[in-house]
Amino acid sequence: MYDRMTYRNDDDPAPPYFTYKNIPRYIKNRTRFTMHKIKNIFYAESKIKKASLYPWSLEKRYKISKNVLGTGSFGVVKECTDKCTGIKYALKIINKKAIQGKEQMLNTELNVLKKVNHPNIVTLHDLFETKNAVYIITDLASGGELFNQLIQKGSYTEKDASNLVKQILEGVAYLHDHEIVHRDLKPENLLFSDKSDHPNLMITDFGLSKILKHHNDILMTACGTPGYVAPEVLRQTGHGKPVDIWSVGVIMYTLLCGYTPFGGEDQAALFDSILSGVYYFEEEYWSEISDYAKDLIDKLMTYDANKRITVHDALRHPWFHMADNIDLLNNVRTNFSARATLKKAINVVQGVTRLRKTSIRQR
C-alpha cells in the first residue's frame, strides 16, 4: 500500500489527482506539495492550515519504465509517465535500508524541494512511501549532465558558456533569496531539462544543502566535493552562502577551458592547492578568452569569503553582455576527455588497492 502526500486549502479542496501540472489554478495560487507525514522516518511542518492525506497506488497513477536512468548507493532512478497527462518524470526509488543512518540527507533534500519553484532548479512533483522505500517524482531532466552534453555539441563558444553560467547563477540566486545554501555545486549536479537547442540548465541534488534560520548563519560542517569546495570549508572556520559562489567560479573556469583550476596527485595535494588560493590562466587555453570572463572568475573565487562577490552582483557583471563568440569546443573537449580518462584510471587503481587490502585481511 502506498501513501501519497498532498496538501489542500480548506476553501479549495484538492481533487484526487492534484498536481502542479494538471491543475492550473493551483499553480496560480502557488500551492505546493509538502509532506504532512511519512510514517517511519521523515517529518515536516505543513505550510498550509490543514493537510489531507490521500492513499493512491503509484502504479495506478504512473507507468514505470523498466529502463534505469541512474544508480546510486541509496537506490535507482527510472523514468515514469503520468497516465493522466502523459508527462514523463524521473522516479527516484530510495531503499530505506540503504539509507539507514543517513536519513537526514533525504529529509534535507525533500525539505528543500518542497520550498523551491524555479526553472533552473529541479522540481518535486509527487511523493509516495511504502514500508521499504520512498518514491520521489521530479523533473525528468532528459538532457543529461552538463559536460557530457557539451562535448557532444558541434560548436561551443564563450557566449554559450556565459549563458550556462547565468542560468546557474539565477538558480543560486533563487536559493540564496530563500536562505538555502546548496554546498555541493558541481557539473554532475547540473542537468539539462531536455535535448532541445535551448534547454534549461537545472540544479539538482540537495542532500548536503542547508536551510538557514537567519540570513547570516555560520555553518561548520565540512562537506562538498573535492575540487569544487571553498577554502573556508577546508579551514573549518565557518561558511555560508559564499561557498556556492566559489563553486560557481570553479564551474565557470572549467566551462571555459575543460579542466579545473586546482589539482594535485591526491586529495591532500588538491586541498593544499585550494587552500593556497592560487590558480592560473594558462596562455595556451586562455589567450583568446575575454578579460571580462577572467575578471568574473577572479571575483567569484575571491579567497576571502567576506569580500567574494554576491550572486546578484555577479549576475550584473558585464561579461554576460560582452562575451565573445570564439569557439572553445576543441580545447574543452580535449581537456575534459583527458580528465575523464585520468579519473577512470584513478578509480581503477583505487579499486585494485581496495581489493588487495580486502585480500590481505581475508588471509
Which residues participate in the annotated binding site? 92
Distance separating alpha carbons of residues 99 and 226, to the nearest angstrom: 23
Annotated binding site for ATP: which residue ranges?
Answer: 92
d(CA 292, CA 85): 45
The answer to whether 67 touches 21, Cβ cutoff 8 Å, is no
Q: What is the DSSP string of 1-60?
A: --EEEEE-BTTBPPPTT--TTT-HHHHHHT-----S-BTTTB----SSSSEEEE---HHH
Contacts of 150 (CB under 8 A, 6+ apart): 156, 255, 329, 332, 333, 336
| 98 within 8 A of 73, measured Cβ to Cβ | yes
Candidate list 160, 184, 205, 244, residue with the active-site label: 184
177 is catalytic: no
Contact 223, 159 (CB under 8 A): no
The residues carrying an active-site annotation are: 184
